[in-house]
Amino acid sequence: MKPDLVKRLTKSLPATLGLKSSSSLAKVTTGTEILSIAPNVSLQKARSWDEGQESGHIWNPGVCSEEHVPTYMENIDKFKAKGIDTVICVSINDPYVMNEWAEKLQCKDAIEFYGDFDGSFHKSLKLVTNLSNVLLGTRSERWSAYVVDGVIKDLNVEEDPSVVTVSAAQTILEQI
């Protein structure tokens, strides 16, 4: 993917998405029974993947970090040898989490990470899945694409989000 395409994708997101100021929304006031406003909402205490697994709320944790992204990290030199300018990881998450994730995986210099903070990019591509049953909400499907000058040449979408087969780096390397 060329740098100018990345710039176009990330330029002026709030205006492009039609985001409005939160000041136009009604706010809760003193005396309001908070649970009456959000009766079917449950908040989840922040916890690690390991704690989530112990509680039985997360299945097959770490696929992205332990299986998917590493296939690209391990093959970055092969991508460069084939003339690939940029390997990008995009996920439905905020850019701050994406930065921490890249740093944790120690691949920030090899792979560019982008946050699709509200899922609009993935929704536009019809590559979203609902993982609310495991407390993850709307997430990106597990996929990879070989993109040349902004045009998808090959698209690989996993049928099962808990595995890495067709979306692994080796598939893309064979498609280049």
Q: Cα separation of 52 and 19, whole Å?
A: 33
Q: Which residues are catalytic?
A: 64
- Other Cβ atoms closer than 10 A to 48: 10
Tokens of 143: 């996929």
Q: Phi-psi category of 29—alpha, beta or left, where left has phi over 0 and alpha has psi -120 to 50?
A: beta
Q: Cα separation of 127 and 119, whole Å?
A: 9
